[in-house]
A = this chain, B = another copy of it.
């Protein structure tokens, strides 16, 4: 298998393992669908993005300029066409397109991947921003629109970014304070890469991929308020969910958390209240892709 395929296989599997992490409280997972998106929509989305991620990795390995925005748009388009549900993987693909390009240009070492990711992010252009906004509109997510504070352009007219000279880096930087995906993209995937390494530690410790995935998710949720919850339900709710995640981890101690009653109750409650820690899940999906590229095997 060539390197571009290895990258695409890893990132695709990362997305599949993330959505299969069970029960990740509040997310779509094996036994939980949302109104407009169901488990199978995530499966179809992940596979549909494969050929775009592979081609992106090939391009990044051989060309100087990498049209990240255009690849993001193509990946979102392929994913949208593959199922009938709502937005499944815009956040994952924002991270995974940058990760695929960085992995194709660097060694696998976290520091080198990060340096390359930062370099690629800073080199993005107005054209990349144009396609970013088209991807957001196509995904039907609107997350970036909701967090903009006057300085990011209106999603409804992507052409404005061309006129105003706003790059993809500028656009995502202006959302970084209230969108964990944008923040991590701007930061050269710092959090994504850390989470990937953490999952590998947990896998070594527990020898069970589902346990490692769910535990890594709870740890991230406990550490940082989820920005999707923040945007939809306010900071107070986001902080409450983080505290609840911490309590589940503490109630389990060193024992498997996935067997715990508290975890299942939290999952039920978040679904009942319509609360979805989706930003944390996006970071985890990309982090799992990095872990798979590093050789993690379920």
Residue of B nearest to A210 (CB): B40
Q: Which residues of B contact A48 (CB under 8 A)?
A: 9, 13
* Chain copies in the assembled complex: 2
Q: Which residues of B contact A16 (CB under 8 A)?
A: 16, 43, 47
Instruction: Check: A86 CB closer than 8 A to any chain B CB.
Output: no
A17 and B8 CA atoms in complex are apart in Å by: 20
Given known A31-B31, A84-B298, contact A44–B13 (CB-CB < 8 A): yes
A203 CB to nearest chain B CB (Å): 10
Residue of B nearest to A9 (CB): B47
Given known A16-B16, A17-B40, contact A51–B1 (CB-CB < 8 A): yes
A44 and B297 CA atoms in complex are apart in Å by: 8
Q: Are B38 and A298 in contact (CB under 8 A)?
A: yes
Instruction: Check: A83 CB closer than 8 A to any chain B CB.
Output: yes
Contact with B along A10-36 (1 / 0, CB 8 A): 001100110010100000001100000
Interface majority SS (helix, strand, loop, mixed), chain A: helix
Instruction: Check: A39 CB closer than 8 A to any chain B CB.
Output: yes
A122 and B15 CA atoms in complex are apart in Å by: 39
Q: A9-B48, A38-B298, A84-B298 are known; give 18 further A-B pairs, CB within 8 A.
A: A2-B51, A5-B50, A5-B51, A9-B50, A12-B47, A12-B50, A13-B82, A17-B40, A20-B30, A20-B40, A30-B30, A31-B31, A44-B298, A47-B47, A47-B50, A51-B54, A81-B297, A85-B298
Query: What 9 pairs across the A-B complex have the smallest Cβ distances?
Result: A40-B298, A30-B30, A5-B51, A16-B43, A13-B47, A40-B209, A12-B47, A83-B298, A44-B298
What are 13 A-B contacts defined by CB distance under 8 Å?
A2-B51, A8-B51, A9-B51, A12-B50, A13-B43, A13-B47, A13-B48, A22-B30, A40-B209, A43-B298, A82-B297, A83-B297, A83-B298
